[in-house]
Each structure stands twice: as structure tokens, then as C-alpha cells.
Amino acid sequence: MKIKVGFGFDVHQIKEGYPFIVGGVQLEHHAGAFGHSDADVLVHAVCDAILGAANLEDIGYHFPNTDMRWKGISSLLLLKECMGLIQAKGYQLGNIDAMLCLEAPKIKPYIPQMKIKLAEVTGLDIDDISIKATTNETMGFIGRQEGVVAYAVCLIERV
Ligand SMILES: [Zn+2]
């Protein structure tokens, strides 16, 4: 069986008064991520990992931020599109391992809900979705709560 690995990274600015949607879940916070679609940093990193594994360019190639179709939409829809793209190329998703890097709020209580959201869209078992979180120890733009970063890897298998 042919297996391939993919890697994704994303970053968004954090701005006062914006909704903070991560992994398809809205966090309770005074500020949120700013960007195209719903600025879901975790889902964007996962999309890039999935596309990368199948050598299908990146999220900006398929869903350009100049395209008004993608303005303000749920990034879970983009993830669904990515699943279709790898399936069309003969692959299925094996697992996801993702890492969030942000100072606040605490992510742990939201992780089970995020896993459910990702499982619904990808068809993966919950046990094949790992979401971890760390702070940046108050250093740099993440430490100053000016931005949020996510990394993700995934594995795909040829069907
Ligand atoms: Zn993004």
C-alpha cells in the first residue's frame, strides 16, 4: 500500500471583537482571528497538510482569497473540498496530528468538540485525529496575543 505524508502551517492575526473559530468551534474570547473565510487556523493547516500529501498545491491555490465565493464561509467546507480532491486522485485520509500555538484562551476544553467537527467532515475515527495545543511562553507575536499559529501533519493512503 502506498502511503504519503503531508505537512501544513497557517497563521492569522488576532484582533479585538472578531469571532475566534478554531477547528470549527467558536472559542469564548474577547478577540478572534482575522482573515479570509472564517480564519480557522487549525482547519487551514489541516487542509494544507492533506493537499500537500497528495501533491495538490495549497489552500491558496484552490481557494484564493480574491475569490468572493470563499469570503466568510466555514473552513470546514474548504476541508470537505480538499477531501474530495484527494479522493479524486485515489487517496483516503489515514490520520491527522495537529498543533495549535496560542497564548489564550485555554484550548483544552474545546478539543473534544474540534475532533468531532473534523471527524464529521473527514470521515476519520476520533482516535485518528490528534489536536494538541501549546503557548509560546509569552514570547513573540504569539506571546503578545497578536497572532495564532497552527501546524498539522497527515497521512494518506492510496485506495
Ligand atoms: Zn488561514
Structural domains of the chain in order of their starting residue, each with its CATH number: 3-158 (3.30.1330.50)
Per-residue pLDDT reduced to its tens digit, 37-85? 899 999 999 999 999 999 999 999 999 888 888 887 899 999 999 999 9
Number of CB atoms found within 10 A of residue 68's CB: 7
Binding residue per annotation — 64?
Answer: yes
**In the structure, what pLDDT confidence band is assigned to residue 141 with cuts at 50, 70 and 90?**
very high
Whole-model pTM: value is 0.97
Binding residue per annotation — 86?
Answer: no
Average pLDDT over residues 120-129: 98
Per-residue pLDDT reduced to its tens digit, 76-120? 999 999 999 999 999 999 999 999 999 999 999 999 999 999 999
Binding residue per annotation — 66?
Answer: yes
Which residues hold their Cβ within 5 A of ligand 1, which is an ion?
10, 44
Whether residue 36 is predicted with pLDDT greater than 90 in this model: the reply is no
Are 27 and 105 within 8 A, CB to CB? yes
User: Which strands make up the sheet holding 3-16, listed edge to edge?
Assistant: 31-34, 3-16, 147-158, 91-101, 129-134
Binding residue per annotation — 55?
Answer: no
Binding residue per annotation — 75?
Answer: no
3 C-alpha vs ligand 1 centroid, how far in Å? 26
